[in-house]
Amino acid sequence: MLNEDFLTTPPWASWFESLLWLGIALYLMFVLPRLSASVAISVSMGLVISILLTHVILMTQYGWWVQLMMPLLLLVLGHALMTSKHYLLTERGKLRADAESSESNRNLALMLQSQGQLDMAFDRFRKCQINESLMENLYNLGLDFERKRQFNKAEHVFAYMSSYNASFKDLPQRILTARQLSETVILGGNPQTYLHTASSSDTSITKPMLGRYQIEKELGKGAMGTVYLGVDPKIGRQVAIKTLALSQSFEASELDAVKSRFFRRFFREAETAGRLNHPNIVTMYDAGEEHDLAYIAMELLKGQDLNPYTKPNHLLPFDTIAHIMVKVAEALDYAHQQHVIHRDIKPANIMYEPDTQLVKVTDFGIARITDSSKTKTGMVLGTPNFMSPEQLSGKKLDGRSDLFSLGTTMYQLVTGALPF
């Protein structure tokens, strides 16, 4: 004041301030939303610096007072609010997109799982946001890996789940069981042993699956493999599952050489039985191969084979034996008309149900289709005690060989001893 340095308000200050207010408002409403974050901060900082420099120059060089701080405050607060709004909208959109992507991956994983593509299903599940609902899906996936006897993969699924909730259901026990069974498989354990163990009463192990069939328990052992009680989950039908494990019969060095040949033999049983439709021949439903196990799903019979009735103190009445032989002869006559020779008729391959007098011929596993050029010669198959001389010598056979075996079977059922 002593130096008479006074600040004066120029006559154009009011309209300049109004234009600045309007310009900043238009910038905040129409320009700022269209800019990217980096460009927006650069432009806003440039405007702030320009306004500050203008204010300082007007005061120091010209001694003019123009109210620029309020528009400047509007610019700073407006930019902050618009940036916060954009960030919140982006985050909300990202969360929505993540949720939609997670649900899409989950649905795709469930579809892949239903098609048996378990590895691809697990990859999709891992892209989902993990929660209790997904934990249930992952748990079922782990059980599917167990049913497929892929225990190392089941362990990986359960371990992934434990990172979210280690106490989910029986997860610790599942991990331990999967690890133990995985080590058994890696060390060359027999898959038949696992099927027997997993189909026992131990509820900590998931019931195994062969194809679409769930294995319930072991019914018995035959010449070619083990027979299990199975269930078709789609229709609830109980079936007998006959399996062949090559690793049980051959050394590891021989396995690759004989695998294709013996699987062809095994599936020839399915082909042969599938051609036969007779009330006294067991019905075959399905056949398949999984890992080193081949299996055939066939009609489940309530009776038992005739082996117990070959003991001298447990013989059937002659009338009953005659009835059984007639039914078996009718079944063989039908099979021979279809160009099929059984080649292994014996008491163990004839099922009998005393209450209903039902008779069924089983096990066409070593049958030969006589019109197939691939099977007119080859190794001798069957049970020697019941073979015809022609079969023992490896000659080409016809239906009369089965009749010889049937006569031997009848002799044993009547007398309790073999004729030779």
Rounded CA gap, 33 and 210, in Å?
61
Check: CB of residue 327 under 8 Å from CB of residue 280: yes
Rounded-to-integer distance, Cα 328 and Cα 360, Å: 7
Known catalytic membership, residue 333: no
| Each residue's pLDDT tens digit, 339-370 | 888 888 999 999 999 999 999 998 775 544 33
Using alpha carbons, select from 88, 45, 64 the residue that is nearest to residue 5: 64
* pTM of the full structure: 0.56
Helical residues (DSSP H) of 224-363, grouped into ranges: 246-249, 252-274, 318-337
More confident residue, 82 or 322: 322
Residue from 187, 105, 181, 174 nearest 142 by CA = 174
Active site residue: 286, 344, 363, 402, which one?
A: 344
Between CA 344 and CA 123 the distance in angstroms is 49
Given a contact cutoff of 8 angstroms between Cβ atoms, the answer to whether 245 and 190 are in contact is yes
**In residues, how long is the chain?**
420
What digits encode the pLDDT tens for the residues 215-241? 888 888 765 678 889 999 889 899 998
Residue 38 is predicted with a pLDDT of 84
User: Distances in Å between the alpha carbon of 198 and those of 154, 185, 228, 312?
Assistant: 15, 13, 12, 38
Environment class of residue 242 by beta-carbon count within 10 Å: exposed (0-12), middle (13-18) or buried (19+)? buried
270 contacts 282 by C-beta, under 8 angstroms: no
Report the C-alpha gap between 134 and 125 in whole angstroms: 8
Give the pLDDT of residue 256: 63
Residue 187 has a pLDDT of 39
Predicted local confidence at residue 380, as pLDDT = 46
Classify residue 222 as exposed, middle or buried by CB count within 10 Å of its CB (0-12, 13-18, 19+): middle
Residue recorded with tokens 């026992």: 200
Are 413 and 353 in contact, with CB atoms under 8 Å apart? no
Backbone φ and ψ for 237, nearest 5 degrees, come out as -90, 135
Contact 299, 285 (CB under 8 A): yes
Q: Residue 255: pLDDT band by 50, 70, 90 thresholds? A: low
The candidate with the shortest Cα–Cα distance to 335, out of 389, 395, 386, 403, is 403
Given this model, what pLDDT does residue 231 score?
92
For the ranges 40-49, 179-188, 339-348, the lowest mean pLDDT is seen at 179-188
Nearest alpha carbon to residue 362 among 211, 224, 217, 210? 224
Place of tokens 């991990």: 175
- Residue 190's pLDDT band, with cuts at 50, 70 and 90, is low
Q: Which residue has the higher pLDDT, 191 or 354?
A: 354
